[in-house]
Amino acid sequence: MMKLQTWMTALTLVAGATVGAESIAEAASPEARGLEIAQATDRANAGFGTESSSMEMKLINAHGETVNRKLSISTIEGESDGDKSVAAFSWPADVNGTKLLTWSHKKGDDDQWLYLPAIKRIKRISARNKSGAFMGSEFAYEDLGSQEVEKYTYKFVRDDTIDGRKVWVSERRPTDERSGYARQVVYTDQEYMNPLKIEYFDRKDELLKTAVFSGYAKHGKWWRVGQIDMFNAQTKKRSILTWSKRQLGVELDEDDFESDALSD
């Protein structure tokens, strides 16, 4: 439904929003309308090419104790397949140099590799482990790839508002039986064409966590989120991603998006 933009560019878009809204309004069934929302979001998100950003990750446990981390994200948009991204931690010292490379795919399992500098090892993330927590956060490995339209089935639920903003509420279900989620409920802002909220339900169909998206700003013709607050309803833990710098259309070396380059 939307590209978590290889790293939360799950979030971007405005180009084509009017066309998308018109086609969505004409969709004949809840399933068709849900799919139209996903496709319109994907179209609006296309064309950014490359992106580089700086971020902070705050981990908050159930007692309110916090751990802060700094990282950067680089993304190359895929043309015939999903996007490629590299997340690299720079602070504090115990995570400095840790990198995650993600190759998203429209069909089949994403490819992911994690470089651990302490043991100088590149570890491939198994598809069986994609529901695992990334770096101790409330973000799972499967949350970090671009959320390709083809990987879900959809159903429109209702029109609604969040803090006065008009949203479409849709349900999407992963087609991969190994996903950690039974379903997700997505609240898509009708102007930003990006989520304001996503509710994640576990394999028992119980609410697992909720992501709140805020601080949207426009970069060229694309909307980008400023912060994602992920709260785990079952553990009471929270992880907050905050963007501090972002550039689109930057020059990136495709060789840096190979697994062998992670240890450089």
> 243 or 10, which is more confident?
243
Question: What is the average per-residue pLDDT within 3-28?
Answer: 44
Q: 194 near 216, Cβ under 8 Å?
A: yes
Q: Looking at 9-23, 125-139, 197-211, which range is the least confident one?
A: 9-23
Pull the structure tokens for residue 146: 């671009």
- pLDDT per position as a tens digit, 22-67: 556 566 899 999 999 999 999 988 899 999 999 999 999 999 999 9
Residue 111: pLDDT over 80: yes
CA angle 31, 5, 227 (to 5 degrees): 100
H helical segments located in the chain? 17-26, 30-45
Q: Looking at residue 6, what is its pLDDT?
A: 44
Q: 170 near 185, Cβ under 8 Å?
A: yes
- Secondary structure of residue 149 in the 3-state scheme: helix
Rounded Cα–Cα distance for residues 238 and 128 (Å): 24
Q: Looking at residue 19, what is its pLDDT?
A: 40
Nearest to 146 by CA among 247, 2, 259: 2
Residue 16: pLDDT over 50: no
The pLDDT-based confidence of 21 (bands split at 50, 70, 90) is low
In sequence order, what DSSP letters do the residues of 17-70 get, joined into one string?
HHHHHHHHHH-SSHHHHHHHHHHHHHHHHTT--EEEEEEEEEEE-TTS-EEEEE
Rounded Cα–Cα distance for residues 257 and 83 (Å): 10
Phi, psi of 55, deg, nearest 5 = -145, 160
CA angle 232, 113, 225 (to 5 degrees): 45
Q: Looking at residue 10, what is its pLDDT?
A: 36
- pLDDT per position as a tens digit, 63-96: 999 999 999 999 999 988 999 999 999 999 999 9
Rounded Cα–Cα distance for residues 162 and 192 (Å): 13
- Secondary structure of residue 204 in the 3-state scheme: coil
Residue 146: pLDDT over 50: yes
The pLDDT-based confidence of 129 (bands split at 50, 70, 90) is confident
The pLDDT-based confidence of 141 (bands split at 50, 70, 90) is very high
Question: What is the average per-residue pLDDT within 112-129?
Answer: 93
- pLDDT per position as a tens digit, 149-186: 999 999 999 999 999 999 999 999 999 999 999 999 99
**CATH tag for 17-263 (out of 2.50.20.10, 3.10.180.10, 1.10.1740.10, 3.40.50.300):** 2.50.20.10
Pull the structure tokens for residue 117: 């500098």
Residue 1: pLDDT over 80: no
